[in-house]
Amino acid sequence: MSDSDKKIIVYGAEWCAFCHVAMKYFDEKGVSYEYRNVDENRDWLQESVTKSGQTGIPVLDMNGTIIVGFDRPKIDAALATA
C-alpha cells in the first residue's frame, strides 16, 4: 500500500490533550492524517462512537484499525503494517 493509499483519521477535540499528542506524533513522523473535531460535527462524534464502541477520544482510525487513546505501541504497529 503506497503512502497515498493510507488513510488515517483522528477523531478529537481542541480541549483534548491526548488528541494533540497523537497529532503531534504523526506530524513528527511525517504521517498525514485527517482531523475530525467531534465538537464541531456531531456526525463525526457518532462515527467515532460507532467505530470504537465508546465515547472517549482520541479515536484513531488507521486504515480500519481502531485505536482509542494515544497508545504508541499500537500506533507504531499499525503504521508498520499499513
The string of pLDDT tens digits covering residues 7-38 is 999 999 999 999 999 999 999 999 999 999 99
pLDDT at 6: 67
C-alpha grid cell for residue 40?
464541531
Return the HEC string of the chain: CCHHHCCEEEEECCCCHHHHHHHHHHHHHCCCCEEEECCCCHHHHHHHHHHHCCCCCCEEEECCEEEECCCHHHHHHHHHHC
Domains of the chain: 3-81 (3.40.30.10)
Candidates 55, 65, 46; CA nearest to 1 is 65
pLDDT at 81: 85
Q: Flag whether pLDDT at 4 surpasses 60.
A: no
Query: What's the pTM?
Result: 0.91
pLDDT at 5: 60
pLDDT at 80: 92
In tens, the pLDDT along 31-77 reads 999 999 999 999 999 999 999 999 999 999 999 999 999 999 999 99
